[in-house]
Amino acid sequence: MNERDILLNELAQGLRPMPEGIEWFDSLGHEEQSAVLRLLRHHCVQARAVAEDAPESIRRAGLRPTHTPAVLISRGRMDEQLGKVAGLAPLDERRKAFRLLIAVLTIADARRRERFCSGGCNHWWHRLSVV
């Protein structure tokens, strides 16, 4: 566990406000932003994101269905599409990708928590609290 993982999970769990997360993401350099998006993609895959998560994730991220990350996540295999979203290069698209991937993680991890962790688990990110 590191500070970046903690921050991303706090955003996904609503323990930190999204504007704070966007401000943090915007403060990173291009390479760091790319690394964060790849890490978020990994977290989404580990949380077992599915294609059915796309519409609600797009809505929660505040994106229009025509925005590039929204179009990508709505087509094909989720793990592949998450990789494409994480690989977006233009700054404006990276911001949208960040919001979308946080929303996907929010939905997928909530479902995982409900189905597999409701009786308790050893996931450190399920024991976070506001610091």
Is position 126 within any domain?
A: no
DSSP, res 125: G
Is position 127 within any domain?
A: no
pTM of the model: 0.88
Report residue 117 as tokens: 């962790």
- Pick from 81, 82, 95, 84: which is nearest to 23 by CA? 95
Is position 94 within any domain?
A: yes
Q: Render pLDDT for 68-127 as a digit per residue (tens, 0 to 9).
A: 999 999 998 998 999 999 999 998 899 999 999 999 999 998 888 777 666 665 554 545
Is position 88 within any domain?
A: yes
Helical residues (DSSP H) of the chain, grouped into ranges: 3-12, 18-27, 30-46, 54-61, 68-73, 78-86, 91-116
Q: For residue 85, what are the domain limits?
A: 3-115
Is position 57 within any domain?
A: yes
Is position 123 within any domain?
A: no
d(CA 37, CA 102): 9
Q: How many domains does the chain have?
A: 1
Opening angle at CA 118, ends 117 and 124, nearest 5: 45
Quick one: CA torsion of 41, 47, 51, 55, rounded to 10 degrees? -80
Q: Render pLDDT for 31-61 as a digit per residue (tens, 0 to 9).
A: 999 999 999 999 999 999 999 999 999 999 9
